[in-house]
Amino acid sequence: MRTEPIVTIIIKNNKVQFFIHQRKSDKQTFPNLYGLGAGGKIKLDESKDEAAKRELWEETGLSSPIKFLFSTKYKDKDSDYPIYVYETFTNEQIKNHDREWQYSGWMTKKEVDKLLKENKLCPDTAIFYSKYLSEKY
């Protein structure tokens, strides 16, 4: 069972668009589904903040300031792990992370909401995005 905690960083621009990516079809976890921003596992020797900064840099090349928003939990038959959600703002162009994503770009809230409604978001992304919306960040 997957239990390692993860961080995720929601990335928005001045047009209030979300940076979104589509996972590659050969990914073991959530192939072809969409995720918000950047993120990944917290290493044993780092804090949540350090992990968020590292993942943001590794996946997007961004070093913009991050803000912790909330934590939540994802649980299914194969997984039970905490998710620590951060947010950052940028107007920089973000390069596609070719090893991880088959697509990346900016989407409006309406477009992301459509992905949520159509079950095209990664299940853990759907959990934290729904909480993000309910908290009105």
Domains, in order of start, for the chain: 6-135 (3.90.79.10)
Residue 51 contacts residue 9 (beta carbons within 8 Å): no
Over residues 42-55, the mean pLDDT reads 97
Helices (H), 1-122: 48-60, 109-117
Q: What are phi and psi of 108, to 5 degrees?
A: -75, 165
CA-to-CA separations, 11 to 1, 80, 92, 106, 120, in angstroms, rounded: 29, 25, 11, 9, 19
Per-residue pLDDT band for 46 (boundaries 50, 70, 90) equals very high
Q: Is the pLDDT of residue 137 over 90?
A: no
Give 12-21 pLDDT, tens digit per residue: 999 999 999 9
The span from the CA of 126 to the CA of 57, in Å, is 23
Residue 81 contacts residue 4 (beta carbons within 8 Å): yes
Tokens representing 118?
């159509």
The span from the CA of 133 to the CA of 112, in Å, is 11
Give 56-89 pLDDT, tens digit per residue: 999 999 999 999 999 999 999 999 999 999 999 9
Tell me, what's the pLDDT at 97? 84
